[in-house]
Amino acid sequence: MKDGNQIMAEALKQQGLEYVFGIMGHPVIELAINMQLVGLRYLGFRNEQAACYAAQAYGYLTKKPAVVLCVSGPGLLHVIGGMANAQVNCWPLLVLGGSCPQDHEGIGGFQEWPQVEASKPYCKYAARPSSAALIPLHVEKAVRYSTYGRPGATYLDLSATILTQKVDENKIALVLSCPEPPLIFPDSRQIEEAVNMLIQSKRPLVIVGKGAAYGRAEQQVRKFVHLTGVPFLPTPMGKGVVPDTDPLCVSSARTYALQQSDVILLLGARLNWMLHFGRPPRFQSTVKIIQVDLCAEELHNSISSAVAIQADISSTVESLIKALLYRKWTVTKDCQWWNELNSKSDKNKKIVQQMSLNKSVPLNYYATFTCIQDCIPDDCIICSEGANTMDIGRTILLNNLPRHRLDAGTFGTMGVGLGFAIAAALYCKDNMPGKRVLCIEGDSAFGFSGMEIETMFRYQLPIIIIIINNNGIYNGLDSKTFKEIQMTGNPTQAIPPYSLTSETHYEKMMEMFGKKGHFCVTIDEIQQALKESFAELNTPSLINIMIDPQADRKEQKYTWLTESKL
């Protein structure tokens, strides 16, 4: 005989899952223990939402879902924010939620809540096994749904009744491990259409999206841009599929490249807000989009694509390479298109460089990030969140390897950083020993999940947390002004909504664990703090960098988001 706890733990192991993140309590205490007994690795977090962020990041890095374990009612409610993020980001995730005994339903059971119904809007599959014997069937289906097609979140509801139910072993459903998702190959006629369109273009551009990184398409995409000479532009998490340092990267001329392109090869990126919906004024009204995506429903979204290919990115790009090699087509570096891009790129780089040279105290973003970039190895995994911290940081902190940048993503979620960093550190520990993880946070973003520092200490994860502290959201107040406002006697009406407490010493949180944090206001202090932090191999580090509360990004030609014309 086996009970539901044993059956669930063994079913997860059977599907090849490795990690469980969560917070245990009634009714999943025995389940958590059984998970460890069968060889699953369990990490307890301080907040379920952070646990869910970690699990989905691990799913993105491995293409296999990690598990979130949570208690009933409010436990699951906390997880749902993370489920929504995984679903919108298209990252594999499996959530297991305990729920009240079935005979308590409808009469006010402890933490009773319609959990399956509540989860359905935020995932691809949500169900409650009707008996413990059927748990393996639902686990396989949840894993399959989370990884097949467009990846996403799945949810299984586990009532206390099912978890304690005992079943004869010969009555437990026998299920095989879920195979890897099948590859979808492109239609040869569409490849021919795409090739003809590229050859006839005057100003072609490749946009490399997060889907190309998730799909392990870096080898093919790098080969494509180098053989053809087409300029490329990565999306935030498409960075590193082709190195940011590659001379064919036109990130420094992003707006100009988008505005002037006549044909765009879109590889695993969505024409959503992050790419201004593919519409004017950021794009030409006549631009032709060659769209490659795994998800049929994504094709022709926002605008009608000239060629819409539902297929695996690697196989599609490989087919394009073969066809273009036969045609012997390249974009030469001395053509007008490249001359225009280089001119615009050089101009923008000079502006950023000039701002980076201003090292007066208080520091600005550009000098701070340039210092960090100069001090870190070029193979770090960078997790980042915060408004200006994330946006400016991605333009200066470079990624030369795929899946080495994790940020707020499509949903623009704040609070993801420390959970993402924990997942990345575990992934490095298992697969790339010695590689380091940087978690670069705005001071506001850090506040969402700052206590996960304790989780990092408990599991000996050498994550380097860098807080870019400007005393607020977007910007803040200097210490003198903030104290004067506090003294007015009516702070709830006088302190601006964007302001946080000035000069907060977040680095002192490290003293709770017998370690010393770093408080920096100068370039020399940042350099020394980074040197000492990289020497720490078994514990996290925290560097709190005070910058000018009014520091801002360089002047933008357009607002950050293309507005609706409705």
Confidence label for 352 from pLDDT (cuts 50, 70 and 90): very high
Task: Please state the rounded mean pLDDT for residues 107-124.
Answer: 94
Beta strands in 328-386 (DSSP E): 381-385
Res 105: pLDDT: 84
Closest CA to 549 of 465, 464, 449, 442: 442
Q: What is the CA radius of gyration of the chain?
A: 25
Residue type for position 217: A
Beta strands in 409-556 (DSSP E): 437-442, 464-469, 472-473, 475-476, 518-520, 541-546
At 493 the three-state DSSP class reads helix
Task: Please state the rounded mean pLDDT for residues 31-59.
Answer: 98
CA distance 120 to 142: 13
Asked if 367 contacts 359 with a C-beta cutoff of 8 angstroms, the reply is yes
CA distance 333 to 331: 7
For the cut 70, the answer to whether the pLDDT of residue 558 exceeds it is: no
Could you report the per-residue pLDDT of 460-506, keeping only the tens digit for each? 999 999 999 999 999 999 999 999 998 887 889 999 999 999 999 99
DSSP state of 1: -
For the cut 80, the answer to whether the pLDDT of residue 56 exceeds it is: yes
Same CATH topology for 2-171 and 188-342: the answer is yes
Number of Cβ within a 10 Å radius of residue 117: 10
Asked if 317 contacts 221 with a C-beta cutoff of 8 angstroms, the reply is yes
Res 112: pLDDT: 87
Q: What would the CATH number be for the domain defined by 188-342?
A: 3.40.50.1220
Write down the mean pLDDT value for the chain.
Answer: 95
CA separation (Å) from 226 to 201, 216, 220, 343, 413? 18, 18, 10, 21, 35
Could you report the per-residue pLDDT of 128-151, keeping only the tens digit for each? 999 999 999 999 999 999 999 999
Could you report the per-residue pLDDT of 69-97, keeping only the tens digit for each? 999 999 999 999 999 999 999 999 999 99
For the cut 60, the answer to whether the pLDDT of residue 284 exceeds it is: yes
Homologous superfamily assigned to 2-171: Thiamin diphosphate (ThDP)-binding fold, Pyr/PP domains (3.40.50.970)
Could you report the per-residue pLDDT of 380-431, keeping only the tens digit for each? 999 999 989 999 999 999 999 999 999 999 999 999 999 999 999 999 999 9
Res 557: pLDDT: 61
CA separation (Å) from 88 to 82, 154, 180, 270, 508? 10, 13, 22, 11, 35
CA distance 71 to 55: 16
> Six-digit token pair at 183?
């590859």
Task: Please state the rounded mean pLDDT for residues 525-541.
Answer: 97
Four-CA torsion 385, 390, 393, 398, nearest 10 degrees: 70
At 233 the three-state DSSP class reads strand
Res 560: pLDDT: 60
**328 versus 451: which is more confidently predicted?**
451
Res 490: pLDDT: 86
What are the φ/ψ torsions at residue 476 (nearest 5 degrees)?
Answer: -140, -155
Percent of the chain with pLDDT over 90: 93
For the cut 60, the answer to whether the pLDDT of residue 565 exceeds it is: no
For the cut 70, the answer to whether the pLDDT of residue 364 exceeds it is: yes
For the cut 90, the answer to whether the pLDDT of residue 200 exceeds it is: yes
> Six-digit token pair at 417?
């950083």
Within 8 A by CB and 6+ apart from 174, the residues are 136
SS3 content of the chain, % helix, strand, coil (to 5): 45, 15, 40
What is the sign of the dihedral through the CA atoms of 388, 279, 399 and 437? positive
**249 versus 104: which is more confidently predicted?**
249
* pTM of this structure: 0.96
- Do you know the residue count of the chain? 566
For the cut 70, the answer to whether the pLDDT of residue 566 exceeds it is: no
For the cut 60, the answer to whether the pLDDT of residue 564 exceeds it is: no
Residue type for position 233: L
For the cut 90, the answer to whether the pLDDT of residue 563 exceeds it is: no
Residue type for position 550: Q
CA angle, 538 then 543 then 548, to 5°: 165
Give bridge partners of residue 233 from the DSSP assignment.
207
Domain 358-546, classified CATH 3.40.50.880, yes or no: no
For the cut 70, the answer to whether the pLDDT of residue 561 exceeds it is: no
Task: Please state the rounded mean pLDDT for residues 115-128.
Answer: 97
Confidence label for 559 from pLDDT (cuts 50, 70 and 90): low
Percent of the chain with pLDDT over 70: 98
Asked if 502 contacts 482 with a C-beta cutoff of 8 angstroms, the reply is yes
Within 8 A by CB and 6+ apart from 358, the residues are 364, 366, 367
For the cut 70, the answer to whether the pLDDT of residue 556 exceeds it is: no
For the cut 70, the answer to whether the pLDDT of residue 555 exceeds it is: no
Give the start-to-end residue ranges of the domains of the chain: 2-171, 188-342, 358-546
| Residue 302 CA to its chain's centroid (Å) | 23
